[in-house]
Amino acid sequence: MPPRPFRIDVPDSVLDDLHERLDRTRWPDAIPDTGWDYGADVAYVRELCDYWRNEYDWRAQEAALNAWPQFLCEVDGVDIQYWHVRGRGPDPHPLLLTHGWPGSMFEFLEFIGPLTDPAAHGGDPADAFDVVIPCIPGFGWSGKPAERGWGPARVADALDHLMTAELGYDRYGAQGGDWGAIISTRLGAAHAGNLSGIHLNMALAGPPDPPTEADEAALASRRAFQAQETGYSNVQGTKPQSLGIAQADSPAGIAAWITEKFRSWSDCDGDVESRFSKDTLLTNIMFYWAPNSIASAARIYYEARAEGGMGRGAGAGPITVPTGFAAFPGEILVSPRHWVEAAYNLVHWTDMPAGGHFAAIEEPDRLLQDVRAFFRRVR
């Protein structure tokens, strides 16, 4: 089915229901002075939800999201929501930007102007891109898969079909972090002939076998993350619907679950609002609340396990397409350069001075410049 124009238009009844639920939230107790030690800080989430109820302006955010051309396209039986903005320059290069969890396409909103019209933002017109920014199936206003099997490999196949068969691009680049990095990697494994290159800000590359003493610091970081930060993944990878029922009923529950990750996984030194305003946090959360997609989004973890895990997977050897990597110091999954070099055709590497897992929002200028620099080499 060909692409069809789309606009986000949340009914007033959904917003009224949101406000009523926020008013009726039953808050748990908390041990005094524990803050975020036990998970989400009840006091901060109450403050965020009070702002959501009384000050947050969804209609202003909705208008900003709708300011760029947006579409739905049915691929493999599921609608994909996406921005598609043509570049202004001598030869715009197609670029697919894919988000992760608990993010959304909103992460890339501020990239659209500089990437598509660099001259208007102080850049070189030769760096112009045709930008395609989808919501992963099950996320946001994309369709919710009604059958098993929509793991990252199938998502990658669907996005390649969108780029080539539906939008008519013979060759394109891909960028992403989190699931966007995994999906971009799988594009590189399964659809290398269609790709000019992939740019990542997260990789699940592993150490050599056996690892050397020099690998120990990265392995210790990985073990600490596994021990302290993967409860969410184990739940969403095994019993996502049990949690989804609770979250679909409670906006405060979604706010707590997602905001805790933005604090824990970012380079914010414990102060979430040093990196993300309340408006930023809540607009991203609205991609899960308004279309009731919190449960369908979480299922990608279950489906990834069914595919064989969240790594490069699918029995693929080293990724042969040219690969660029932006290494942010606060990234939750540490991947030393020689690990990435063994897994990818690494032609570009940048050590960033600041930023964490949500690089597109935390350090948008640095990530933007690195994307431009990498694709100058391969476009």
- Establish whether 344 is a catalytic residue: no
- Structure-block tokens of residue 309: 């895990």
Task: Work out whether the CA dihedral 295, 297, 301, 303 comes out positive or negative.
Answer: positive
Q: Is 357 labeled as catalytic in the residue annotation?
A: yes
Angle at 294 between CA 147 and CA 307, to 5 degrees: 45
Of 127, 130, 178, 370, the active-site residue reads 178
Catalytic residue among 44, 82, 288, 301: 301
Is residue 99 annotated as a catalytic residue, yes or no? no
Number of Cβ within 10 Å of residue 306's Cβ equals 12
**In the numeric block, which tokens belong to residue 77?**
């039986």
Q: Taking each helix axis from N to C terminus, what angle separates 251-265 and 12-23, rounded to the nearest 10 degrees? A: 80
Q: Residues with Cβ < 8 Å from 216, sequence gap 6 or more?
A: none
Residue from 56, 160, 357, 370 carrying the catalytic annotation: 357
Burial (CB < 10 A; 0-12, 13-18, 19+), residue 276, is buried
CA nearest neighbour of 45 among 57, 31, 59, 35: 35
Q: From the centroid of its chain, how far is CA 333?
A: 15
Which two three-digit tokens encode residue 89? 């320059």
- The answer to whether 120 and 113 are in contact (CB under 8 A) is yes
Cα 128 from Cα 95, distance rounded (Å): 10
Neighbour tally for 336: CB within 10 Å: 17
State the Cα–Cα distance between residues 32 and 43, nearest whole angstrom.
10
Can you point out the beta strands (E) in 53-148?
70-75, 78-85, 93-98, 129-134
Q: Are 195 and 160 in contact (CB under 8 A)?
A: no
Q: Give the full edge-to-edge strand order of the sheet including 4-5.
A: 4-5, 70-75, 78-85, 129-134, 93-98, 172-176, 195-200, 319-327, 344-351
Catalytic residues: 178, 301, 357
